[in-house]
Copies of this chain bind each other. A is one copy, B any other.
Amino acid sequence: MVDSLSPDDTSRDRRPGRPRDTAIDDAALAAARTLLAEVGWDRTTMVAIAERADVGKPALYRRWPSKTHLIFEAVFGWVPDHVPVAEAQSADDWVERSFDYTLDMFGRPDVRAALPGLLATLRDNPDLQSNLWRQFGSPAVDMLSDTLDNDGATTDSALDAQATMLLIIGSSMLVRLLLRGDAADAVSARLPGILRAR
């Protein structure tokens, strides 16, 4: 269930010296998620994360090169056991399932709190960008692309699939960022219909 995005996670070989305490990783990520949801991005400081996780600040920086990397992994550093998009039967079905999944994700309070900071990072860090794409975007988009090809409804399925994905993600993000409660639900409910009605 946990599939880390951290860059220095590749080496699983035994290194000399005392091994790192893996419990610290989990505690830190959990603390970051909790703080984001509770007090927002600004007050989710490294010291606060360290205190909440009952861990030292250097232990954090030993694992993640910056606060943003930590939070990035805390928020996106796992994939659910079951990605419902994988079972989509048609393009419309794919859209609907993607909205379900995306709206749900951006509705998580920790994700909402982390989003702006993460967008900034994404803009400046191509490595995280491609990480994210590889994990979330690429598989789903490939699948939609195949479906569209089968339907023969488009001239450039890859581009259309990517654009569709951006429409879904972008609108989901905005709904969650700008709207609250009933308003958010009402608009969310219409989104798939508008996009699907092709």
CA distance A175 to B120 in the complex (A): 14
Contact A169 B163 (CB under 8 A): no
Residue with the highest number of chain B CB atoms closer than 10 Å, among A119, A175, A187: A119
How many identical subunits does the complex contain? 4
B-chain residues with CB within 8 Å of residue A175 when the two chains form the complex: 166
* Count class of interface residues, chain A: 35 or more
Q: Output the nearest chain B residue to A116 by Cβ-Cβ distance.
A: B120
Q: Of A5-13, A77-85, A189-197, which binds chain B?
A: A189-197
CA distance A187 to B165 in the complex (A): 11
CA distance A167 to B169 in the complex (A): 9
Q: Of A20-28, A47-55, A122-130, which binds chain B?
A: A122-130
User: What is the minimal beta-carbon distance from A64 to any residue of chain B, in angstroms?
Assistant: 18
Judge if A139 is at the interface, Cβ distance under 8 Å: no
Q: Output the nearest chain B residue to A129 by Cβ-Cβ distance.
A: B178
9 additional contacts (CB under 8 A) given A119-B177, A159-B187, A170-B174: A116-B116, A116-B118, A156-B190, A159-B186, A163-B191, A167-B167, A167-B171, A167-B194, A197-B198
Instruction: Please list 19 pairs of residues, one from A and one from B, whose beta carbons are closer than 8 Å in the complex, sorted by A's number.
Output: A41-B120, A115-B119, A116-B117, A119-B119, A119-B177, A122-B177, A133-B178, A162-B187, A164-B194, A166-B170, A166-B175, A167-B167, A167-B170, A167-B191, A170-B172, A171-B171, A194-B198, A195-B195, A198-B198
